[in-house]
Structure 1
Amino acid sequence: MARLISILDNDFYKFTMQNAVIQLFPKVKAKYQFINRGKHKFPAGFAEILRAAIDSLATLALTKEEKSFFAENCPYIDAPYFDFLQGYRYDPDEVTITQNGGDLSVKIEGYWYRTILWEVPIMSLICELYYEVTGQKRVSDEEVVQIVESKMNKYDKLKITIADFGTRRRHSFEVHDLVIKTLCQHPSKTFIGTSNVFLAMRHATKTIGTHAHEWFMFHAAKYGYKMANLLGLEHWSDVYRGDLGIALSDTYTTEAFFKQFDKKLTKLFDGVRHDSGDAIEFAQKTIHHYASKGINPLSKTIVFSDGLDYQKVEKISSFCNGKIGYSFGIGTDFTNDVGLERMNIVLKMVETLPEDGEWTPVIKLSDEPLKHTGDPQEIEMAIRYLQLDEHA
């Protein structure tokens, strides 16, 4: 049965956010909830199987080799964090799992600095166990390699750079490991790294990532929607002082983001990440924003990461070429292209308890309205408050 073999088998931005939370918000609590967007039906007994896999994570611990790799490759993270991570253990009591027929419920609750690491491993376990328990057979290892090589040969011709962002909804660790091995052995400079820290160490490539939506969702709960992006980025720069400089733009829509992305932040951050909505429209808005601040768009980068495949990448790169810097983070099209239906699931923060505050619902307003997450009444209120008429 599926299980993780390393505490670093997680996305890099989970660790960078954890470090920042420890420094700035150590008393904050958080709740997370599994969202089954694809309405997948789970077989009887799945909750018990997932429970056993999650319980097994309590034995994971950062090894000396992993600690050395992480510290050497991330000099912008202070040494005390790696000592903390060496002593960190997953606490399965923070996770509640129930099943009603084919419907699965997963909820997480605890201090934010601890619970922040659960999302990615739980999602990857759900995917891998789902394929295992339902007896679905993937293509062979040889075919996986051929699929990856075929894609890379096409990407090479576009003269672009790409990274792997596919941990959360991968088919399995075995496939993910094989994909990264194949990407690293491919004879070009197109592939530049992976968001998965353990696989970056195993295959001697670069760790890629900065922060995720939950960073800004918390800031909205504590400081309000109109200040969430501004203070989220200010606090990020307080911790990382210019490193890890790709800003996530769509937690409360790109429209709201650029209103708060003032000249100081626009100059400080290396670029922005696109994760929902029309990519070309986003590129146009981003180019206009930089130009309006007197900044050459070619000195900045957009990292595109929204459900990419070759056709989307080709269209985006054709538009951006010569206008702005660009790169791509590709997820399940690398790690779950094995001849089976890909799972459409997420696990999101749903409430947070700021220090000296009260439990507050948190939401995400995507540039794609169908991908809004959170309490519907809170979503409507935020849309009105941010004056986002086109999303109503």
Structure 2
Amino acid sequence: MIVSSLLDTDLYKFSMMQVVLHQYPAAQVEYRFKCRNPGINLVPYIDEIREELHALCSLHFTQAELDYLRSWRFIKSDFVDFLGLFQLNAKYVQITPSPLNNGEIEIRICGPWLHTILYEVPLLAIVNEVYFRNTQPGLDLTEGRRRLKEKIALLRDTPGYHDCRIADYGTRRRYSREWHREVAGTLHEGLATQLAGTSNVWLAWQLGLRPLGTLAHEYLQAHQALGPRLRDSQVAALEAWAKEYRGDLGIALSDVYGLTAFLRDFDMYFCKLFDGTRHDSGDPFAWGERVLAHYQANRVDPRSKILVFSDSLDIPKVMQLYKHFHGRCQLAFGVGTNLTNDVGPRPLNIVIKMVRCNGQPVAKLSDSPGKNMCEDDAYIAYLRQVFDIPVLPEAEPIG
């Protein structure tokens, strides 16, 4: 059984789920899976993935897990009570071969947002582990351990970086659950205070680490269908978040419509209200410079704000960013696949993204066009027009 606890997911799933329970309990959504690696044949593993899905759907939160969640300052008691009754239902998930017969698989998740939001992270972890245990049986992890120790030594022992802290963001694309636990434990032991924490709630609980995370793209995408007029949907999403958390979990995600559109909406009120912003696409150096200039233009001291970098990072890139921005603002770095799936074989680049909410297409138009997923070209064009987004290469097709 690959996932043995419903806590084995990222923190932002719980923080978003609480907002859904309190503000959008009737919302209906659809998610789609995509493997961005060309030539990967996942069809032979469909039955095994389905078996793991049904095992996942047999899980309940234990009393100890609920007590742990209840100990968090920003989690409401009624949400924990709801989780005490919660169970994933496999009827909302369909896993089939692609009709193109090209080795790809289709995973569609359709149903109430409240009852499907927890699928994304464990399903991606399941696909990863099933794939690698079939294609790399008995892989010797000696090389992975060597690489991990080199990364730790580079960050820990290079002069001038003792205040540079990283977090583990690697749940979705990890090589395996056991390897993920070993990585987190090794980082904890080797980096001490230079490890800020982990996005994985189960590992945070097991290892005594700080759980980290706020919100994901799906939250802002859903507001394209849930909010007022489309042009105001990003503002509505940020205001709904602030209403729920009253100053907690204050990191805003900046790339659902690209940075220019984000900064138009992220006015002085939001600059002061939110603790910082997160980068997840485009040039991180250019992004950081523009965000810091935006804070200054809105009479906010950038040194009081956090820039969170989380896009395809490795340790050398973390160190470059730290050197460039150190002293000008507070910094945080989330490192994912490069920590939890750097063992030799090429990692899978797989995602599950929301594509519809309440029957309406939703989309992300980030600063990295290859990350975009949408099934409706007309909606993409309309979204660009509404948010005044320049025409870039077309959104990545799903079919």
Specify if TM > 0.5.
yes
Q: 1:240-283 deviations in whole A, cap 9, x for unaligned?
A: 00000111111111111110011111101100000000000100
SS at match of 1:188: helix
Moved more, 224-233 or 246-255: 224-233
Q: How much has 1:33 moved relative to structure 2? A: 0.5
Partner of 1:26: 25
Q: Would you say the 8 A contact 2:143–2:344 is kept in 1?
A: no
Q: 1:289-318 deviations in whole A, cap 9, x for unaligned?
A: 100011110100111000001232122112
Q: How does 1:223-234 map to 2 (within 5 A)?
A: 223=227, 224-234=229-239
Give unmatched runs, 5+ long, in structure 1. 354-358
Q: How much has 1:44 moved relative to structure 2? A: 4.6
Q: 1:55-99 deviations in whole A, cap 9, x for unaligned?
A: 111221111111112221x11111111111121101011100101
Partner of 2:150: 150
Partner of 2:189: 185
Q: How does 1:327-346 map to 2 (within 5 A)?
A: 327-346=332-351
Partner of 1:209: 213
Q: Would you say the 8 A contact 2:221–2:363 is kept in 1?
A: yes
Q: How much has 1:16 moved relative to structure 2? A: 0.6
SS at match of 1:322: coil
Moved more, 156-165 or 242-251: 156-165
Give the distance between the partners of 1:139 and 1:376, measured in 2 at CA.
45
Partner of 2:6: 7
Q: How does 1:55-74 map to 2 (within 5 A)?
A: 55-72=54-71, 74=72
Partner of 2:90: 92
Give the distance between the partners of 1:328 and 1:247, measured in 2 at CA.
15
Q: 1:339 to 1:301 in 2, by over 3 A?
A: same
Aligned residues between the structures:
384
Q: 1:292 to 1:43 in 2, by over 3 A?
A: closer
Partner of 1:356: none
Moved more, 308-317 or 167-176: 308-317
Partner of 2:322: 317
SS at match of 1:45: helix
Q: 1:345 to 1:8 in 2, by over 3 A?
A: same
Q: 1:44 to 1:298 in 2, by over 3 A?
A: closer
Q: 1:44 to 1:119 in 2, by over 3 A?
A: closer
Give the distance between the partners of 1:283 and 1:4, measured in 2 at CA.
36
Q: Would you say the 8 A contact 1:383–1:391 is kept in 2?
A: no
SS at match of 2:57: helix
Give unmatched runs, 5+ long, in structure 2. 394-399
Amino acid at match of 1:70: L
Q: Would you say the 8 A contact 1:12–1:208 is kept in 2?
A: yes
Give the distance between the partners of 1:90 and 1:361, measured in 2 at CA.
24
Moved more, 157-166 or 372-381: 372-381
Q: 1:153 to 1:289 in 2, by over 3 A?
A: same
Q: 1:296 to 1:18 in 2, by over 3 A?
A: same
CA RMSD, Structure 1 to Structure 2 (Å): 1.5
Q: 1:75 to 1:227 in 2, by over 3 A?
A: same
Moved more, 269-278 or 32-41: 32-41
Amino acid at match of 2:75: I
Q: How much has 1:384 moved relative to structure 2? A: 2.1
Q: 1:334-364 deviations in whole A, cap 9, x for unaligned?
A: 10011011101110001011xxxxx100100
Partner of 2:396: none
Q: Would you say the 8 A contact 1:30–1:349 is kept in 2?
A: yes
Q: With structure 2 as the length reference, what TM-score do the two structures score?
A: 0.93
Give the distance between the partners of 2:164 and 2:191, measured in 1 at CA.
14
Q: How much has 1:391 moved relative to structure 2? A: 3.4
Give the distance between the partners of 2:155 and 2:197, measured in 1 at CA.
15
1:361 matched to 2:366? no
Amino acid at match of 1:147: R
SS at match of 2:97: strand
Amino acid at match of 1:334: L
Amino acid at match of 1:138: L
Q: Would you say the 8 A contact 1:352–1:361 is kept in 2?
A: yes
Partner of 1:17: 16
1:171 matched to 2:172? no
Q: 1:90 to 1:128 in 2, by over 3 A?
A: same
Give the distance between the partners of 2:59 and 2:15, measured in 1 at CA.
19
Give the distance between the partners of 1:43 and 1:309, measured in 2 at CA.
27
Give the distance between the partners of 2:309 and 2:316, measured in 1 at CA.
13
Amino acid at match of 2:126: L
Give the distance between the partners of 2:192 and 2:83, measured in 1 at CA.
34
Q: 1:271 aligns with which of 248, 262, 276?
A: 276
Q: How does 1:279-290 map to 2 (within 5 A)?
A: 279-290=284-295
Give the distance between the partners of 2:341 and 2:96, measured in 1 at CA.
26
Give the distance between the partners of 1:321 and 1:43, measured in 2 at CA.
43
Q: How much has 1:376 moved relative to structure 2? A: 2.8
Q: How much has 1:37 moved relative to structure 2? A: 1.3
Partner of 1:76: 74
Q: 1:92-125 deviations in whole A, cap 9, x for unaligned?
A: 1110010144120100011001100000011110
Give the distance between the partners of 1:303 and 1:149, measured in 2 at CA.
24
Partner of 2:117: 116
Partner of 1:243: 248
Q: 1:188-228 deviations in whole A, cap 9, x for unaligned?
A: 31101100000100101110000000110011223344212
Give the distance between the partners of 1:288 and 1:44, measured in 2 at CA.
48
Q: Would you say the 8 A contact 1:13–1:212 is kept in 2?
A: yes
Amino acid at match of 2:286: E
